[in-house]
Structure 1
């Protein structure tokens, strides 16, 4: 027999089913309204829980989006921030490339491939993904760019996403199987130029 709780306005208790309800609601709201338009309150209301449950289970909107829509097992902004700031500024490009590859390699590349296929198949998911990356990944890249930050961030994205497609989706050899360090050394200087050097 189910336990009756005293949660206000018929909301769910803060049990494990709350987490699942939030994920379901978040997928719907993010797809409908994009990352910008979706609010924690709207997601909680759709799930029938208090908004505080979002922070309790996911730590905030960013992590909820990553798990509900992108299904990322990591926080891209945290990884990128560390790669940009920890070490020689002249080697940022290598660190960013190395971090990108080691992170996806650790999960077999399958999540990246599924993400790319999902974006290609659904315009609304693509819109939500663009919002998320503009506010998190691109915003983080812009902190090290001296000028033309949006263009520089987009150029970095073209390089990394293209590399990811070749390594994890189409799996062209030798890029699909070569050591991460080889690719970091080869691609890193291009990323470095996009981030810090003149573009003309």
Structure 2
């Protein structure tokens, strides 16, 4: 029987990855897997850290905006929707619907952004996983957040109704390219859809008798 020697290497358990050049990439890869498997709502920062083999504090260090910021980066979206929502909410609630349409069009119009955003929408149409992630993210972090800020009744439903209007516009103007929507000016679209979003997201005060 042979005895062990000092040159033998003991099995090494999975430890936490220290911060370094590849740590951020490992977190992003773990996040992609987690979002794909669980969807946006059920994925957690702690679970993503565990999958990446890092301390949860490192995830927050690299992605200070939390789960929303991490999700946006995994999809390689060229803008952070949560930052845009801050701008939308910082204004008169009486013009909220119009401001949403104006903001979305401002984001989508530049050609350098449009290709990436159209690719994202196309993937959500053809992939159940992508559709679930986008649906949950828009519902919670974008339109759900706007609806909740106004105190509207049933904010998740009202936010979903608003999201359906904007997704319809995006698909019609940039993906399917309906001629009338393509030809419409930004001002026409803002004035046409602004009141619709306003009705979904802001409860009108009762008219005195």
Please state which band the TM-score falls in when normalised by the shorter chain.
Answer: 0.7 to 0.9
| Residue 95 (structure 2) aligned to one of 85, 91, 95 | 91
How far apart, CA to CA, are the structure 2 residues paired with 1:161 and 1:192? 16
Q: After TM superposition, give the deviation of residue 177 of structure 1 in Å.
A: 5.0
**2:150 maps to which residue?**
144
**TM-score, normalised via structure 1 length:** 0.83
Residue 118 of structure 1: aligned partner: 123
Q: Residues 152 and 25 (structure 1 numbering): CA distance in 2 closer, same or farther, change over 3 Å?
A: same
Does structure 1 retain, via aligned residues, the 8 Å contact 2:68–2:82?
A: no
Q: Which residue of 2 aligns with 1:19?
A: 24
Instruction: Write the distance in 1 (CA, Å) between the matches of 2:33 and 2:63.
Output: 17
Alignment map for 1:161-180 (pairs within 5 Å): 161-180=167-186
| Structure-2 change in CA distance of 1:148 and 1:52 (3 Å) | closer
What is the aligned residue count? Answer: 189
Q: Give the 3 Å change call, closer, same or farther, for CA 167–47 of structure 1 in structure 2.
A: same
Q: For structure 1, which segment, 128-137 or 157-166, has the greater mean C-alpha deviation from structure 2 after superposition?
A: 128-137
Decide whether the 8 Å contact of 2:138 with 2:163 is kept in 1.
no
Helix, strand or coil at the partner of 1:184 = helix
Q: Is this contact kept in 1: 2:97–2:194, CA < 8 A? A: yes
Deviation at 1:145, TM superposition (A): 4.6
Could you say what the CA RMSD is over the residues aligned between the two structures, in angstroms? Answer: 2.2
Q: Which runs of 4+ in 1 moved over 4 A?
A: none
CA deviations on 1:48-75 (whole Å, 9 max, x unpaired) are 222222112221211101111x322222
Equivalent residues in 2 for 1:46-195 (5 A)? Answer: 46-59=51-64, 60-68=66-74, 70-86=75-91, 88-106=92-110, 107-142=112-147, 143-195=149-201
TM-superposed deviation, 1:103: 1.2
Residue in structure 2 matched with residue 3 of structure 1 by the alignment? none
Mean Cα deviation higher: 171-180 or 122-131 = 171-180
Bigger-Rg structure (1/2): 2
Superposition deviation, residue 102 in structure 1? 0.5
Superposed CA deviations along residues 142-174 of structure 1, whole A, max 9, x for unmatched, are: 221532323321221111000011122122334
Ranges in structure 2 where 5+ consecutive residues have no aligned partner: 1-12, 205-209
Post-superposition offset of 1:112: 2.3
